[in-house]
């Protein structure tokens, strides 16, 4: 399977008479873009606001992040979600690098929503402060969940995908500045030299704890709560087969932007044939009941063993209850003789003295930490707020509480509520250091 990724590097974003890209400047026809958003009657108010790195801007509640892209050949964008169900991971896709569409609530947030600072100390917490963000700031008539702590946010999330595809289409017929090739032959077509290298599999544990449809990560549009661990080609993930869900404390969540830019997958592809034999991806899930956790761990082990894996990297989306799934898979793989490394964040308490994971095992002796959800942050006021700052304290944001927002606009919060800040897929440099 061969995927060509044509990259266009965005240096600035402005509003103008037509949506286009030239000399590093992305121009957006605002009214036309808003008409794409308003195709959903549930959206009642909407605006587009541009936030650039270094701007004195605070954005909250952020619900989703999507890279502007278009499919040139070999498939569709967001298969099984926005467009018809068909395979992802081949042909050519064009991407506007350095830019991002953020779906932001105009008034209402929730447990799973996050905050981004574009400057100041808060900007160090998340990769999204380094991107030029096209903020889709909207409200909806989804009254059934307005006062719910956990929201599906469907209208805004789907609007973000439509907007990202609309913007991406402006480079559909252009020649990219850079062409990346992602190609991984089927197992039976690999040379003896490659087969003699250590076989490594990547296990992606998607958030899927909610029993009701609409909250969990989607695989080709299918709710991951209803799936068993599944083997996938890495190109499928890089080409949009997996869509972020709307459940999970926000620092631990993996946005759609991060799924298609998964740095761990890209590094494994780059090392294939050199230091390792990349066998592919096992997409797993994170469940609630013990039997479900055990079943998923069993299937991950069976798939990894059948593929001939000697090593595995396990990425966990979340913390707390999902730690039991994480450790169960760790144990299952190690017991099968597969050397395993985990990537996850920690919940050590504000003083750093609590057990970092809910479940532990002596077999889990190689873990990359990407941050501490309990880290206490005190952030100064910002000149501009996009969205609704009060939502941090009012609407159950996992990192906020009553009193988080001070009279002068400064805030006190936990890293828990910073948007996708712990980046378990490997795009960012945060970690926990033992002194």
- Cβ atoms of 221 and 79 within 8 Å: the answer is yes
| Strand arrangement, sheet containing 242-243 | 222-223, 218-219, 242-243
Dist. CA 388–CA 137, nearest whole Å: 10
**So what's the pLDDT on residue 435?**
58
Backbone dihedral angles phi then psi of residue 115, each to the nearest 5 degrees: -125, 140
**So what's the pLDDT on residue 331?**
97
Backbone dihedral angles phi then psi of residue 300, each to the nearest 5 degrees: -60, -45
**So what's the pLDDT on residue 91?**
98
What is the model's pTM? 0.96
**So what's the pLDDT on residue 22?**
98
- String of b and e for 308-341 (b: at least 16 CB within 10 Å)? ebbbbbbbbbbbbebbbbbbbbbbbbbeeebebb
Strands 339-346, 311-316: parallel, antiparallel or unpaired by DSSP?
A: parallel
**So what's the pLDDT on residue 379?**
98
Write out the two tokens for 291.
Answer: 């039997």
**So what's the pLDDT on residue 141?**
93
Q: Which DSSP letter does residue 284 get?
A: E
* pLDDT tens, N- to C-terminus, the chain (435 residues): 999 999 999 999 999 999 999 999 999 999 999 999 999 999 999 999 999 999 999 999 999 999 999 999 999 999 999 999 999 999 999 999 999 999 999 998 999 999 999 999 999 999 999 999 999 999 999 888 888 888 999 999 999 999 999 999 999 999 999 999 999 999 999 999 999 999 999 999 999 999 899 999 999 999 999 999 999 999 999 999 999 999 888 999 999 999 999 999 999 999 999 999 999 999 999 999 999 999 999 999 999 999 999 999 999 999 999 999 999 999 999 999 999 999 999 998 888 888 899 899 999 999 999 999 999 999 999 999 999 999 999 998 999 999 999 999 999 999 999 999 999 999 888 777 765
Dist. CA 343–CA 426, nearest whole Å: 8
- Cβ atoms of 151 and 145 within 8 Å: the answer is yes
Cα-based distances in Å from 57 to 44, 51, 343, 384, 414: 24, 7, 31, 5, 19
Task: Please confirm whether the linkage preceding 61 is cis (ω < 30° from 0).
Answer: yes
């Amino acid at each position: 399977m061969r995927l060509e990724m044509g990259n266009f590097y965005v240096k600035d974003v402005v509003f103008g008479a037509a949506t286009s890209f030239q000399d590093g400047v992305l121009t957006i026809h605002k009214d036309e873009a808003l008409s794409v958003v308003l195709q959903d009657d549930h959206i009642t108010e909407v605006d587009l606001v541009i936030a650039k790195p270094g701007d004195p801007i605070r954005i909250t509640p952020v619900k989703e992040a999507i890279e502007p892209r278009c499919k040139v050949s070999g498939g569709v964008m967001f298969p099984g979600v926005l467009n018809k169900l068909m395979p992802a991971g081949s042909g050519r896709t064009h991407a506007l690098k350095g830019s991002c569409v953020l779906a932001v609530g105009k008034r209402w947030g929730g447990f799973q929503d996050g905050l981004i600072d574009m400057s100041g100390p808060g900007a160090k917490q998340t990769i999204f402060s380094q991107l030029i963000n096209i903020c889709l700031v909207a409200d909806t008539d989804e009254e059934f969940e307005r006062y719910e702590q956990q929201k599906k946010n469907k209208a805004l999330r789907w609007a973000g995908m439509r907007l990202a595809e609309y913007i991406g289409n402006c480079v559909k017929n252009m020649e990219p500045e850079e062409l990346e090739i992602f190609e991984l032959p089927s197992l039976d077509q690999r040379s003896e030299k490659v087969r003699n290298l250590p076989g490594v599999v990547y296990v992606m544990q998607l958030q899927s704890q909610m029993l009701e449809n609409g909250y969990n990560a989607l695989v080709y549009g299918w709710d991951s709560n209803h799936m068993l661990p599944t083997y996938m080609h890495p190109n499928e993930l890089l080409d949009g087969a997996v869509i972020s869900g709307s459940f999970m404390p926000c620092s631990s969540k993996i946005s759609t932007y991060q799924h298609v830019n998964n740095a761990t997958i890209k590094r494994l592809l780059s090392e294939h044939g050199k230091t390792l034999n990349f066998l592919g991806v096992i997409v797993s899930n994170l469940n609630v009941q013990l039997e479900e956790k055990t079943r998923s761990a069993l299937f991950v082990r069976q798939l990894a063993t059948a593929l001939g894996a000697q090593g595995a990297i396990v990425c966990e989306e979340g913390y707390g209850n999902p730690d039991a799934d994480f450790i169960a898979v760790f144990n299952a793989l190690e017991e099968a003789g597969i050397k395993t490394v985990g990537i996850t964040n920690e919940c050590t308490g504000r003083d750093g003295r609590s057990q970092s994971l809910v479940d532990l095992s002596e077999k889990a002796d190689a873990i990359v930490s990407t941050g501490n959800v309990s880290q206490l942050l005190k952030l100064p006021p910002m000149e501009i707020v996009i969205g609704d700052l009060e939502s941090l304290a009012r609407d159950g944001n996992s990192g906020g509480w009553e009193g988080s927002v001070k009279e002068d606009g400064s805030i006190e919060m936990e890293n828990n509520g910073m948007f996708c800040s712990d980046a378990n897929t490997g795009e960012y440099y945060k970690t926990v250091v033992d002194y």
